[in-house]
């Protein structure tokens, strides 16, 4: 099976700005397999930031949940469509921007997601729906908008925050 259909990935030399210089832009066909590859690429892109393991796992979880959501809900039942992902890094942390041309979020807003409870009976345990809960727990400044048939989701992860703008030591 081809997993890289339509996958393209551009890594930019990040300008050091407070708002967030672009680390990478990618666009790919919305499939779960491509989400995997996009996450793999994103984690490689973030390596020069020297994030702590705890920070890396937060990024990986939030990114996976947000991108899987596009595959599952914006383009349901295998409807073909593209996803665009932009990673920016600035003094406030990592900004993740995701765009797609699929279905809008229900009621024009991001869902709350399932909240964990302590005492679910065995057979009533939820098997899904924690995606948005995890994103909301891990991310800050979550913004959703829709314009001209395009979903726009952006959120910030307070990771890799430095007092001075970060300029990774990329090979010259």
Partner 1 sequence: MEMTSSVHKGLTVVTVHESRIDAAVAMRFKENMKDLTMGATGRVIVDLSAVTFVDSSGLGAVVGSMKQMGRGRRMDLVGLSASVEKVFRMTRMDSVFRIFGSLDEATQEPADAS
Pairing verdict, β 150-157 and 93-100: antiparallel
Residue with tokens 């430095």: 162
The nearest distance, CB 55 to partner 1, in angstroms, is 11
Looking at the Cβ atoms of 33 and 97, the one nearer to partner 1 is 33
Q: Where are the extended beta strands (E) located within 4-69? A: 8-11, 21-29
Q: Which is nearer to partner 1, 121 or 171 (CB)?
A: 121
Nearest approach, Cβ of 131 to partner 1 (angstroms)?
Answer: 4
Candidates 33, 30, 10; CA nearest to 22 is 10
- Among all chains, which residue has been given the structure tokens 């996958």? 7
List of residues contacting partner 1 (CB under 8 A)? 32-33, 35-36, 53-54, 56-57, 60-61, 64-65, 68, 71-72, 116-118, 120, 122-123, 125-131, 133-134, 137
Q: Are 23 and 89 in contact (CB under 8 A)?
A: yes
Q: Could you tell me the smallest distance in angstroms from the CB atom of residue 32 to partner 1?
A: 4
Smaller CB distance to partner 1: residue 12 or 134? Answer: 134
């Amino acid at each position: 099976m081809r997993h890289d259909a339509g996958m393209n990935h551009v890594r930019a030399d990040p300008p050091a700005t407070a708002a967030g210089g672009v680390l990478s832009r990618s666009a790919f066909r919305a499939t779960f397999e491509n989400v995997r590859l996009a996450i793999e690429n994103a984690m490689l892109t973030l390596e020069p930031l020297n994030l702590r393991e705890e920070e890396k796992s937060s990024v990986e979880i939030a990114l996976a949940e947000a991108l899987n959501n596009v595959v599952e809900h914006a383009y349901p039942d295998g409807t073909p469509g593209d996803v665009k992902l932009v990673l920016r890094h600035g003094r406030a942390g990592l900004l993740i921007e995701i765009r797609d041309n699929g279905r809008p979020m229900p009621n024009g807003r991001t869902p709350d997601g399932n909240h964990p409870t302590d005492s679910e009976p065995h057979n009533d345990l939820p098997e899904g729906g924690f995606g948005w809960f995890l994103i909301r727990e891990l991310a800050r400044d979550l913004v959703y908008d829709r314009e001209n048939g395009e979903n726009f989701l952006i959120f910030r992860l307070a990771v890799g925050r430095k007092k001075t703008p970060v300029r990774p030591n990329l090979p010259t």
